[in-house]
Amino acid sequence: MSDSFPKPLSEKEEELYLTLYFAGDTEAKNILIERNLRLVAHIAKKYNVANCTLDDLISIGTIGLIKAVNTYSAAKSVRLATYASKCVENEILMFLRSSKKNKAEISLNEPLGTDKDGNEISFNDILGTDPDAVLNDISLKLQIKSLYTLIDKKLTDREKKVVINRYGLYGCIPKTQREVAADLGISRSYVSRIEKKALEKLSEDLHKL
């Protein structure tokens, strides 16, 4: 199937389209996504999951690719393709974990949003603790049941809709801010503000778990 996707960008081509993308060229962004779809297919093929087709995994991985392009910056010390590989794999793994009926833990690396510099923030960042130390106490600190309880108690109905749809909770497929905005009939910037406020509420209470 990966043969049906366009060929990957060369290093020089990637640099060119990144320069155009950073300058605000939306078509360059589309090209960066399209020319990395073969990478998504390659990663998706590594997983053989019952009741989940390769096309499904490619769709999920593509969400990770889009997130990678959205959060990549010139300051990154690796190529976009290298950075995107991890984002794609994380997105697929996050989806597979959320699909398990007896899921009891949430990924420490699951993205929660971005900081003021546009860097992705994970639960590790919120906790501010060494990952190995956190893992020893993960069952107490990050049970998904506790997170859902916080969402129900602390967030408004609109904040719940945004967070649930953005991060694929309750079995939903993760969506971009633009997709959520379209679903709710509001602007992407408004979705961003709602998401930021909701995450601030959740992160404050996660410290207390």
Q: Among residues 44, 74, 99, which one ends one of the domains?
A: 99
Residue 134 near residue 108, CB atoms below 8 Å: yes
Q: Is the pTM of this model over 0.75?
A: no
Co-location of 60 and 126 in the same domain: no
- Co-location of 126 and 202 in the same domain: yes
Within-domain flag for 104: no
Residue 149 falls within a domain, yes or no? yes
- 2 confidence band (pLDDT: 50, 70, 90): very low
Q: Are residues 201 and 120 in the same domain?
A: yes
Name the domain boundary from 99, 131, 147: 99
Which pLDDT score, from 0 to 100, does residue 104 have? 41
Q: Is residue 171 part of a domain?
A: yes
Determine which of 83-87, 120-124, 139-143, 205-209 has the lowest per-residue pLDDT on average: 139-143
Same domain? 85 vs 122: no
> Domain range holding 123?
111-206
Which H or E run contains 16?
helix 11-22
82-117 pLDDT tens trace: 999 999 999 988 888 776 643 444 455 555 555 555
Whether 91 and 119 share a structural domain: no
Of the candidates 106, 95, 113, the one whose C-alpha atom is nearest the C-alpha of residue 143 is 106
Residues 95 and 122 occupy one common structural domain:
no
In contact, 49 and 96? CB cutoff 8 Å:
yes
Residue 107 three-state SS: coil
Chosen domain end from 75, 99, 123: 99
> Are 84 and 134 within one domain?
no
Characterise 101 by phi-psi region: left (phi > 0), alpha (psi -120 to 50), beta (else): alpha
Residue 105 lies in a domain: no
Question: What would the mean pLDDT of 7-15 be, rounded to a whole number?
Answer: 89
CB atoms within 10 A of CB 3: 6
- pLDDT tens digits for range 151-194: 888 889 999 889 888 877 777 788 888 999 998 999 999 999 99
The verdict on residue 192 lying in a domain is: yes
The number of domains in the chain is 2
Residue 187 domain flag: yes
CA distances, 14 to each of 4, 19, 99, 170, 194 (Å): 20, 8, 34, 36, 33
Q: Are residues 84 and 140 both part of a single domain?
A: no
> CATH number, domain at 119?
1.10.10.10
Higher pLDDT, 5 or 79: 79
Q: Does residue 40 fall inside a structural domain?
A: yes
